[in-house]
């Protein structure tokens, strides 16, 4: 059975292990997440739980959004997300940070930081030209497009300048270093996607070693 919880990235810090080694960790404010809906294969075609996160006032939601919370008799939440492979929960139950324990392997999914419109060097890690005489003012340009009389066009998916970041990213096989239920905090070893304050999802690792 899988486990999952919605959280908010609080930032990075470091802690000391028992042997004195420094461990870089990301602090995630995880839960509490009430179960708003239980989907089953008989009624919905697949099994999943719909979890809520971060309570909000009723006036901040429209009627369709508010209706599902009233039906479940759950306080309104700002974020909703479906998670699969979680069994044994019913509507109204609350998923808390202690669903995970120290040493668990998790996959963390979130939206990466946005960098705006960037060139090929920052976006695709391409090499710049020599900054010497004769090269011209093209030191950071993408270079040849590779299109002559045939096919007389630039192929799709060529690495060019453009929007960089704001993509769904999942980091696999991260280790849970510590769980603080009193503060609803989960400390994950290493970095996770997104800026501070962004919403992330922690789930049981699907490719754990």
Task: For residues 29 and 37, give the distance between their C-alpha atoms in angstroms, rounded to a whole number.
Answer: 22
Whether 176 is covered by a domain: the verdict is yes
Whether 16 is covered by a domain: the verdict is yes
The arithmetic mean of pLDDT across residues 44-61, rounded, is 88
Whether 139 is covered by a domain: the verdict is no
Whether 145 is covered by a domain: the verdict is no
> Domain limits at 86?
4-113+167-204
Q: Band of the pLDDT at 209, cuts 50, 70, 90?
A: low
Whether 127 is covered by a domain: the verdict is no
CB atoms within 10 A of CB 193: 20
Whether 29 is covered by a domain: the verdict is yes
What's the confidence (pLDDT) of residue 1? 66
pLDDT above 90 covers a percentage of the chain that reads: 39
Whether 122 is covered by a domain: the verdict is no
Considering its fold, how many domains does the chain have in total?
1
pLDDT digits (tens, 9 = 90+) for 17-26: 888 899 999 9
What's the confidence (pLDDT) of residue 155? 87
Burial class (CB in 10 A: 0-12, 13-18, 19+), 170: middle
DSSP structure class, residue 97 = G
The answer to whether 24 touches 190, Cβ cutoff 8 Å, is yes
pLDDT digits (tens, 9 = 90+) for 105-162: 999 999 999 999 999 999 999 999 888 888 888 888 888 887 778 888 888 888 999 9
Among 27-31, 147-151, 162-166, 167-171, which stretch is predicted with the lowest mean pLDDT? 147-151
Taken in order 141, 145, 149, 152, is the CA torsion positive or negative?
negative
The arithmetic mean of pLDDT across residues 73-88, rounded, is 86
The answer to whether 66 touches 80, Cβ cutoff 8 Å, is no
What is the DSSP secondary-structure string of 114-158? EEEEE-HHHHH-PPPPP-STTS-S-TTS------STTT-SPPTT-
What's the confidence (pLDDT) of residue 138? 86
Task: For residues 155 and 84, give the distance between their C-alpha atoms in angstroms, rounded to a whole number.
Answer: 38
Would you call the peptide bond into 151 cis, given omega within 30 degrees of 0 as the criterion? yes
Mean pLDDT of the residues in the chain: 89
Which pTM was predicted? Answer: 0.81
**Gap between the terminal Cα atoms of the chain:** 17
What's the confidence (pLDDT) of residue 105? 92
Whether 190 is covered by a domain: the verdict is yes
Q: What is the CATH number of the domain that holds 65?
A: 2.40.30.10
Confidence check: pLDDT of 38 > 70? yes
Task: For residues 47 and 39, give the distance between their C-alpha atoms in angstroms, rounded to a whole number.
Answer: 5
Of 205, 168, 208, 194, the residue nearest 29 (C-alpha): 194
């Amino acid at each position: 059975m899988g486990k999952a919880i919605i959280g908010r990235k609080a930032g990075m810090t470091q802690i000391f292990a028992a042997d004195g080694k420094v461990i870089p960790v990301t602090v995630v404010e995880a839960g509490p997440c009430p179960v708003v809906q239980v989907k089953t294969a008989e009624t919905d075609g697949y099994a999943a739980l719909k979890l809520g996160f971060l309570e909000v006032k009723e006036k901040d939601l429209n009627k369709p959004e508010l209706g599902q919370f009233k039906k479940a008799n759950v306080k309104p939440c700002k974020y909703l997300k479906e998670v699969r492979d979680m069994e044994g929960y019913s509507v109204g139950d609350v998923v808390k940070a202690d669903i995970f324990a120290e040493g668990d392997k998790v996959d963390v999914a979130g939206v990466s930081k946005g960098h705006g419109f960037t060139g090929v060097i920052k976006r695709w890690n391409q090499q710049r030209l020599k900054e010497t005489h004769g090269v011209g003012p093209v030191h950071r340009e993408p270079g040849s497009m590779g299109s002559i009389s045939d096919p007389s066009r630039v192929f799709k998916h060529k690495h060019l300048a453009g929007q960089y970041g704001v993509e769904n990213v999942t980091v696999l096989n991260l280790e849970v270093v510590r769980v603080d239920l009193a503060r609803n905090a989960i400390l994950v070893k290493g970095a996770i996607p997104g800026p501070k304050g962004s919403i992330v999802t922690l789930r049981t690792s699907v490719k754990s070693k």
